[in-house]
Amino acid sequence: MKQYLLAVHMVEGEPARSEEEIQRSYRAVDAFNRELMASGHWVFAGGLLPPDTATVVRAQGGKVVTTDGPFAESKEQIGGFWVIKAADLDVALELAGRGSEACGGAVEVRPFADMPDVD
């Protein structure tokens, strides 16, 4: 099975969701996570704190330089993610649709690069 990243996007400037909507989303995501686990698609998942909590680390000329994040100057940032196992892209897209419905946000699907065989 191939692994895919399902990245949940949050958009700066979108209206804040009500506490009731947030709690409903938490419950729906928890149920979706349990389905992924039960079906064997689960690898790992996590939610992220807001982009303003990020620190960017760069190696420059033999030194490590850290700056306040986020790295990308963008209104869209990753707010959370799932790493899943799926037989193919069609299955990953179907699962992403269910994840999007659960979390109430857009989900980007990206396959992991195949790793070279190491003897």
pLDDT tens digits, 51-104: 889 899 999 999 999 998 777 777 778 889 999 999 999 999 999 999 999 999
Q: What is the pTM of this model?
A: 0.84
Taking alpha carbons only, the member of 47, 52, 37 closest to residue 6 is 47
**Kind plus residue range of the DSSP H or E element containing 84:** strand 76-86
CATH topology assigned to domain 2-111? Alpha-Beta Plaits (3.30.70)
pLDDT tens string 21-42: 989 999 999 999 999 999 999 9
The secondary structure of residue 49, as a DSSP letter, is -
Burial class (CB in 10 A: 0-12, 13-18, 19+), 55: exposed
> How would you classify the pairing of strands 42-47 and 2-11?
unpaired
Sequence ranges of the domains in the chain: 2-111
Q: What share of the chain is helix, strand, coil (3-state, %, to 5)?
A: 35, 35, 30
Measured in whole angstroms, how far is the alpha carbon of residue 3 from the centre of its chain? 13
Counting Cα atoms < 13 Å in the Cβ hemisphere of 82 gives 28
